[in-house]
Amino acid sequence: MRPTTRVPGLVLTEHEFTVPLDHSGPGGGPTLTVFAREAAAPDGTDRPFLVFLQGGPGFEAPRPVTAASYPWLSRALRDYRVLLLDQRGTGRSSPVGRLDGKNAEEQAGYLRHFRADAIVRDAELVRRALGVAKWSVLGQSFGGFCVMTYLSTAAEGLAEAFITGGLAPIGRPTDDVYRATYARVIDRNRAYYARYPADRERVRRIHRQLTDSEVRLPSGDRLTPRRFRQLGLMLGMSDGAERLHYVVEQPIDAPGFVHDVEAALPFARNPIYAILHESSYADGCVTGWSAARLLPAELEEPDAFTGEMVYPWMFEEYSALAPLRGAADILAREEWPRLYDAERLRANEVPVAAAIYADDMYVERAFSEESARSLGGIRAWLTNEYEHNGVRVDDRVFSRLVDLVRGRA
């Protein structure tokens, strides 16, 4: 019997599966556990499956408390039972930690198996283990990249696909991605200070204080100016400017300041994100620490914030990441295999609906539109009503995608 729990409006069933670490390797090699939580309405336990692929990389699936925990989930349960998949290395799916006891080469050899291509192979094993002929998928952000890999490699397992803020560039070098997204980050800095002009001097003062004195985070790590600058990753969300302002307005010596800064930067909690962020864009190329090489001088000013980019110095200043520094350097020099099959995507017949956010700070709109033109069977919705987290804050986003894929909009 699989563990089952009832909470308000939900029946939650736990599943665990064993998958190979390396899907291309011989049988009998190392294995991983993949965990998935099935969420269904009390009267919908026999509805078709919708698999939710979380953003990231390196973040586990949501943990619902009630049916209303997430707007998209509440809407999805009217048509589906939802499989909340903890992607390999996250949550309860053989979580990746510091990999103590392994040298840098061994760490890199292990971590190179945690990209979208392996996640899709895991999902296919899960589908077959559950006896499902075809299922639907919803990919948010990096989860959308996984959906595109699914369409490239295992479309026969899909009945339909939904993508929100996650139409990835096809065949473009990572340098193209970071040039474009840095321009978006600069725009968000300008918009932030237009909204909170008094924060410019506050931020400059914080930088001076962090330069002149040693401020320690709850983890014991030193808060440096460039680490503080990473708070700009919040600016791509609908409530990001407000959340950043509420951190910045605090005195630097207030206990809440350092706790809020550390809580807003999840790199220590989710090491896969730092290790594989650039490689999630690597559709057949070397990343070479792209974000660090292309960092604009404008974003090194003492009143500037960066975005979700990852830099080599993080593997020195984040104590939780330091044991992975050698592996990160090795993977930055890796020539990664292709994630997408352009020919199969052009010939795709699986119905796809995708939300493209016009001002997305994380996934460049122009490249998403380019990918939409190269993907068969897609109905794309370009909107400036929402930020990157649109599907998380308004059930109308997922409703619109369902209507698009069913031909009702």
DSSP result, 248-281 = HTS-TTSHHHHHHHHHH-TTTT-HHHHHHTGGGG
End residue of a domain, out of 291, 307, 332: 332
Which residues lie across from 40 on neighbouring strands?
11
Cα–Cα distance for residue pair 283/272, rounded to 1 Å:
18
One domain, residues 231 and 88:
no
Residue 235 confidence (pLDDT) above 90 = yes
Q: Whole-angstrom Cα distance, residue 117 to residue 24?
A: 11
Task: Indicate which residues carry an active-site annotation.
Answer: 141, 360, 388
pLDDT at 22: 96
Report d(CA 118, CA 152) in Å as an integer.
Answer: 13
Domain that holds residue 323: 174-332
Tokens (6 digits) for 318: 């984040």
User: Do 166 and 178 fall within a single domain?
Assistant: no
Are residues 178 and 229 located together in one domain of the fold? Answer: yes
Parallel, antiparallel or unpaired: strands 158-164 and 352-357: parallel
Instruction: Look over the chain and give the mean of its residue pLDDT values, rounded to a whole number.
Output: 96
| Phi, psi for residue 214 in degrees, rounded to 5 | -95, 115
**Res. 28: pLDDT tops 90:** no
Give the tens place of pLDDT for each residue, 153-202. 999 999 999 999 999 999 999 999 999 999 999 999 999 999 999 999 99
Q: Report helix, strand or coil for 21.
A: coil
Question: 240-248 and 255-264 helices cross at what angle (nearest 10)?
Answer: 150
- Indicate if 144 and 202 belong to the same structural domain: no
Share of the chain above pLDDT 90, in %: 95
Whether residue 179 sits in one domain with residue 150: no
Please report, rounded to a whole number, the percentage of residues in the chain having pLDDT higher than 70.
100
For helices 199-212 and 240-248, the axis angle rounded to 10 degrees is: 50
Please check the confidence at residue 258 and state whether its pLDDT lies above 90.
Answer: yes
- Average pLDDT on 86-113 reads 94
Residue where a domain stops, chosen among 313, 332, 351 = 332
pLDDT of residue 98: 77
H or E element, residue 33: strand 31-40
8 A C-beta contact, residue 230 and residue 329: no
Task: Measure the CA–CA gap between 178 and 262, rounded to whole angstroms.
Answer: 25
Question: Which pLDDT value is given to residue 26?
Answer: 74
Could you say which of 332, 355, 375 is where a domain stops?
A: 332
Same domain, 51 and 77: yes
Q: Are residues 158 and 181 in the same domain?
A: no
- Which residue, chain included where needed, has tokens 């996984």? 146
Amino acid residing at 92: R
Q: Are residues 146 and 131 in the same domain?
A: yes
| Same domain? 148 vs 201 | no
Q: What is the mean pLDDT of residues 324-351?
A: 97
| Same-domain pairing of 263 and 141 | no
Q: From residue 342, how far is each of 15, 148, 223 by CA, in Å?
A: 34, 10, 43
What's the whole-number mean pLDDT along residues 32-50? 97
The Cα–Cα gap between 37 and 317 comes to: 35
Which one-letter DSSP state was computed for residue 171?
S
Nearest to 402, CA basis, from 97, 122, 120, 75: 75
How many domains, the chain? Answer: 2
Q: Are residues 181 and 326 located together in one domain of the fold?
A: yes
User: DSSP strand E in 301-407: where?
Assistant: 352-357, 378-383
CATH of the domain at 25: 3.40.50.1820
Q: Quote the DSSP letter at residue 339.
A: S
Q: For position 100, what pLDDT does the model report? A: 84
Band the pLDDT of 409: cuts 50, 70, 90. Answer: confident
Same domain, 296 and 342: no
